[in-house]
Chain A
Amino acid sequence: MKVISFILAGGSGKELGVLTRHRAKTAIPFGGRYRVIDFCLSNCANSGIKDIFVLAQYNPKSLINHIGMGKPWDLDRKTGGVYILQPSYNGEIAQWYKGTGDALLQNSDLINDSDADYVLILSGDQVYTMNYQNIIDHHIESSKPVTIVFKEIARSMNQYLGMLSVDNSGVINDFVEKPCSSNYKHAFMGIYLFNREYLIKLLYNKPRDLVFDLLMPEIEDGMVGGYEFKSFWQDIGSLSVYYRTSMNLLEDRCFLLDKDLPMFTRSKELAPTRFLSDSSVTNSILASGCTIGGNVVNSIIFPGVDISEGASIEDSIILPFSKISKNAVIKKAVIDKMVKVEEGVIIGVDTGGSAGGYITTVGKGSKIKKNSKIGKGSMIEPVSIVSGDLV
């Protein structure tokens, strides 16, 4: 029994603000040392799936760099392994992927030529650990040609997700995309498993979108079975979800610690993190290669970050290789990679008024000059140089 997997990783992730200006949504750093796509890739590696195609389109550079030939996931294999599939020029027109279904359609030759029994389709922008063998076992037992994965969620989240109705025998009988109000409590997780032959037939209809053009007609025909996933799962759709999901790790990070489903990532070999004499760190997650001289509270610090004496970081996420100088204060902010925050800077100052969103973001490679103040909810574009106050 062989499975090939396609990971959808082409989305632009506009709602993630400055974090996706220069990178694919799936390449966003998460959890202190990972990138979001590591979850899918590690899950595949842990589930014994060795043929993986990553469908990339939007800002793929960081993704390509990160995945490489798949060494960290032991996917640098003689046959199979991980491939990144980007849209290409066919001699007449540039073939952009016009939707998730179209992305699959444009690579349907891989599905046709494969000798796999099943095709697993995943979304690269989700945070969860799962052994996909469980879906496959369920799929084989259910005898439906299509299985999708769902999870019970809080009703308040209905409006952000595709909601499903599941009958007693586990067959999906209705699907509503992001309903304002709905009685359905099961959300579609964007994970599909198809019999390969069956998927080939479905692709004859030239679907543009996987959900609307391919999945919904199949649900109407009663061909789709459901598999319920009960552990932690989160789709990283917006900056506030990214922030909230990250901060939740400080309360519960069990899913990162599962010895049966270990997480792998590409990382630089950095030295252990050094804490200086006057550092004070509580309730935080820190990666390697950092130098911590100041105060860190309720924060997530990525590799190679430098926090000088007297600096204070609270409720914040600092991405790799950023430097926070002496006496700088950062509150409830997401600081992207390689940002330089100079002495005495205050980021996330409460200006009293309503300042749009509440999370302050500073784009990659920016420089915040000495003693500048950046108000709560501000967004600094990548590679900006800020001096003076911005409130």
Chain B
Amino acid sequence: MIDLVAFILAGGKGQRLSALTRYRAKPAVPFAGAYRIIDFTLTNCVKSGISRVFVLTQYISRSLVRHLGIGKPWDLDRREGGLTLLHPRLGYKGADWYKGTADAIYQNISVLEELERGNILILSGDHVYREDYSKFLDFHLESGASATMGVVCVPDELINQCGIATVDSDGNIEKFEEKPERSDSNLASMGIYIFKRKFLISILKRLKKKYEDLDFGKHIIPHLTSNKQLAAYRFEGYWLDIGTIKSYFKASQGLLDPRSGFDFYSNSNILTVPDDNPPMALGKGASVRNSMICGGCFIRGYVSSSILSPEVEVDKGAVVENSIIFHRCRIGAGARIKNTIIDKGSEVGEETSIGYGDKNVVNILQPSYLDSGITLIGRRTIIPAGISVGTNCLLAGSPREAMIDKRDYPDGDYFVSEREEP
């Protein structure tokens, strides 16, 4: 059995995902129709032979907790090991939130101390990729370093959004910069690490004394780099960190291109909670092109270049183009939807049009999140019939006030009902 115990950091708020993370943690955001983002990392863990996985949660964790359950879909419902959720909690000395990524691990240091295995894998719950972590471990053991960081090549335009590592000829990281303006290296930290367990315990204890908000990227990695204790392992292939609505949308659209997208079809399956829906049905007037459609959908309209999660209904004459529709949404007859993400359980009234307009008009409420020509409809929002909603709009009802005002919404407009906890 592989000598790795995984800790998946899944507490992030993912604020830039706007309404998608209003009621759920980022790792629980649906992706590629049938999955949630964390499924990719969990699948990697179990396919690499890891049988003990801890998931650290914090920000609105309910949907994540419900999704993960006891880990049955990943065969992590085990007699020994298996899946354990670690929430922030009251302790002997009082209550504490996780104040940084490494602080989250530090607050569970007793878990680390009780483990018998030698190596700890720190993962992020919001990445999309396939990887066999046993190769990562082999590299780590061979390098002899106290810790190894996963790095991946990124295009130049992303350098100023990533932690960039410069690697010397021995494979050790000699320089690490957070979001530099420019760099000679294009190797970005993936935020995933393997540590020798005892080393991790000691460094967490040591640095926690200095930094209250102990963070891997901000504190631990620079410390290890300056001490030449960190090796770099290069990941190859498809890897994605979904941070913004724009990158979420682009990544989703990328799935539809068999050449550049993530290959779901020829490789082994990504594991998720089983879909017990009946198979999808396409009615007599249906037309579906260049799309991914899940079980339980019922389509009588026209769908192109879109991703539909389970149980979506597209009524007669409706047109769905370049859009991502989450579970159980209903698109009324004759509605027209383009460049739109619609969160779970929403309804679009008959003959309503959404997402047509000038993409240069950014959202009034969230100009930095909704600026790329995508309209976002929040969870369980009911859009009245016969209205017209432009591009870069944000419409989010609340579970109690699902119906939004019946009027036209020009480009960049918004309707957000008072925030209520779910």
Chain A residues within 8 Å of B, Cβ to Cβ: 31-33, 72, 250, 253, 256-257, 262-265, 267-289, 291, 300
Contact = CB atoms under 8 A, between A and B. Distances in A.
Interface stretch (B282-290, B340-348, B355-363): B282-290
B264 A271 contact: yes
B279 A274 contact: no
Interface stretch (B55-63, B178-186, B268-276): B268-276
Given A253-B281, A282-B282, 18 more contacts: A33-B278, A33-B279, A33-B295, A250-B281, A265-B276, A272-B292, A275-B290, A275-B293, A277-B290, A278-B289, A280-B287, A282-B285, A282-B287, A283-B282, A283-B284, A285-B281, A286-B281, A289-B265
Interface in B238-291: 256, 258, 264-265, 269-272, 274-276, 278-291
B320 to A, nearest CB: 12
Contact of B289 (A262, A279, A286, A287): A279
B294 interface: yes
Question: Which of A256, A262, A263, A288 has its CB near the most chain B CB atoms (within 10 A)?
Answer: A288
A257 B289 contact: no
A273 B269 contact: no
B265 A264 contact: no
A274 B265 contact: yes
Given A257-B278, A264-B276, A271-B264, A281 B294 contact: no
Nearest to A269: B269
Contacts of B125: none
Interface in B271-329: 271-272, 274-276, 278-295, 307-308
B286 A268 contact: no
A247 to B, nearest CB: 13
Contact of A275 (B32, B73, B274, B289): B289
B167 to A, nearest CB: 35
Contacts of B265: 271, 274, 289, 291
Given A268-B269, A269-B73, A284 B290 contact: no
A270 B269 contact: yes
Nearest to A256: B278
A275 B308 CA distance: 12
28 contacts: A31-B278, A31-B279, A33-B279, A33-B295, A72-B274, A250-B281, A268-B269, A269-B73, A269-B272, A270-B269, A271-B33, A271-B292, A272-B264, A272-B292, A272-B307, A274-B256, A275-B290, A275-B291, A276-B290, A281-B282, A281-B286, A282-B284, A286-B279, A286-B280, A286-B282, A287-B279, A288-B279, A300-B279
Contact of A263 (B256, B269, B276, B283): B276
Question: Which of A31, A265, A281, A291 has its CB near the most chain B CB atoms (within 10 A)?
Answer: A281
B198 to A, nearest CB: 37
A272 B284 contact: no
A56 to B, nearest CB: 24
A105 to B, nearest CB: 36
B281 A284 contact: yes
B28 interface: no
Nearest to A267: B274
Contacts of A275: 288-293
Question: Which of B34, B270, B295 has its CB near the most chain A CB atoms (within 10 A)?
Answer: B295
Contacts of B270: 269, 271
A38 to B, nearest CB: 11
Chain A contact surface mostly = loop
Band of interface residues on B? 35 or more
A270 B280 CA distance: 14
Given A271-B264, A272-B293, A274-B265, A32 B274 contact: no
Contacts of B258: 274
A280 B290 CA distance: 10
Nearest to A284: B282
Question: Which of A275, A278, A291 has its CB near the most chain B CB atoms (within 10 A)?
Answer: A275
Nearest to B272: A269
B267 to A, nearest CB: 10
Given A72-B274, A272-B33, A287-B295, A282 B283 contact: yes
Nearest to B288: A275
Contacts of B278: 31-33, 253, 256-257, 263
Nearest to B298: A257
Contacts of B272: 269
Contacts of A272: 32-34, 264, 292-294, 307-308
Nearest to B39: A269
A240 B407 CA distance: 55
B99 to A, nearest CB: 36
A31 to B, nearest CB: 7
A286 B291 CA distance: 14
A33 B282 CA distance: 15
Given A282-B282, A285-B280, A269 B290 contact: no
A85 to B, nearest CB: 27
A271 B279 contact: no
A277 B282 CA distance: 16
Interface in B18-75: 32-34, 73
B19 to A, nearest CB: 23
B289 A288 contact: no
Contacts of A281: 282, 286-288
B149 to A, nearest CB: 30
B318 to A, nearest CB: 15
Contacts of A250: 281
B75 to A, nearest CB: 11
Contacts of A284: 281-282
The 7 A-B residue pairs with the shortest CB-CB distance, nearest first, are: A32-B279, A271-B264, A272-B33, A272-B292, A287-B279, A256-B278, A272-B294
Nearest to A304: B265
A291 to B, nearest CB: 6
Given A271-B32, A273-B280, A288 B287 contact: no
Nearest to B290: A277
Contacts of B292: 271-275
Interface in B190-236: none
Contact of B269 (A32, A257, A271, A283): A271
A383 B292 CA distance: 32
A124 B307 CA distance: 37
B279 A282 contact: no
Nearest to A265: B276
Nearest to B284: A283
